[in-house]
């Protein structure tokens, strides 16, 4: 190769190497969405576990803390600020004995059908409340009444939620009520224990009843956060 041609080739190569890298494309600008959190009421697993969950932050019976501590139950509590806010000290004690505290929105508003801004305010607002009180942002959301739509998933993702947790069995005073067949406990089922009110037995009694059914099915209680 002639010297002049070689020099020209070297110059062109140097110019090409000096070009700036291609700009990064923002996912939102490109019209794509972040990964939406899955909605689950059952977790696929071969482990013989089910998951006990509680809503609305109404479990203030001191016996409940003692039960969780004594039995070392890895329960998950979904907290609504409007209900739990005055009693967050109680939930700090539950957290200290192994309970996980997750998001159930600020005001227990049914989210489905609300605009994005309203859903985001409910979800992110409670994320901030729980982070300020306990130093950690929840990964799980349970929408009030189980009501949700695609906007809920978008807002939840933008608030840092990775999973929307519903339930396959509801523990009531009369036993377990299933949302779909089969009507029996299976490994991976999420169980919701209904909150206290004037017309129901104490949450501790319902919890012990569920535990008997769990044991009769050859299962045990697992930590939901370890499986989602």
* Class of residue 213 by CB neighbours under 10 A (exposed 0-12, middle 13-18, buried 19+): middle
- 131 is a domain residue: yes
Distance CA 174, CA 164 (A): 27
C-alpha distance from residue 35 to each of 25, 138, 157 (Å): 16, 17, 7
Q: What secondary structure letter does DSSP report for 190?
A: E
15: in domain: no
In a domain, 9, yes or no: no
- Is 136 a member of any domain? yes
Global pTM reads 0.83
| pLDDT 10s digits, 16-45 | 333 443 344 334 444 456 699 999 999 999
Q: Which CATH number goes with the domain that contains 143?
A: 3.20.20.370
pLDDT in tens, 56-106: 766 667 788 999 999 999 999 999 999 888 778 888 999 999 999 999 999
Domain annotation covers residue 70: yes
Task: Answer yes or no: are the C-beta atoms of 220 and 214 closer than 8 Å.
Answer: yes
* Domain that residue 205 falls in: 37-226
Yes or no: say if 49 and 74 are a contact pair by the CB < 8 Å rule: no
Is there a domain that residue 199 lies in? yes
User: What are the beta bridge partners of residue 40?
Assistant: 165
Number of domains, the chain: 1
Q: Does residue 222 belong to any structural domain of this protein? A: yes
């Amino acid at each position: 190769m002639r010297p002049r041609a070689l020099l020209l080739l070297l110059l062109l190569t140097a110019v090409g190497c000096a070009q700036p890298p291609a700009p990064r494309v923002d996912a939102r600008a490109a019209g794509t969405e972040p990964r939406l959190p899955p909605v689950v009421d059952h977790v696929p697993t071969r482990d013989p576990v089910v998951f006990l969950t509680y809503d609305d932050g109404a479990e203030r019976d001191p016996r409940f803390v003692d039960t969780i501590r004594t039995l070392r139950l890895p329960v998950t509590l979904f907290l609504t600020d409007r209900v739990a806010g005055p009693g967050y000290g109680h939930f700090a004690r539950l957290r200290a004995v192994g309970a996980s505290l997750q998001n159930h929105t600020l005001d227990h508003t049914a989210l489905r059908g609300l605009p994005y801004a309203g859903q985001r305010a409910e979800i992110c607002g409670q994320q901030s409340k729980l982070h300020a009180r306990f130093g950690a942002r929840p990964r799980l959301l349970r929408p009030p009444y189980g009501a949700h739509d695609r906007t809920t998933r978008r807002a939840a993702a933008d608030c840092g939620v990775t999973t929307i947790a519903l339930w396959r069995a509801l523990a009531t005073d009369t036993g377990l009520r299933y949302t779909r067949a089969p009507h029996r406990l299976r490994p991976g089922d999420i169980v919701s224990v209904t909150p206290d009110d004037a017309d129901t037995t104490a949450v501790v009694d319902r919890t012990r009843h569920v535990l008997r059914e769990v044991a009769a099915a050859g299962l045990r209680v697992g930590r939901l956060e370890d499986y989602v």
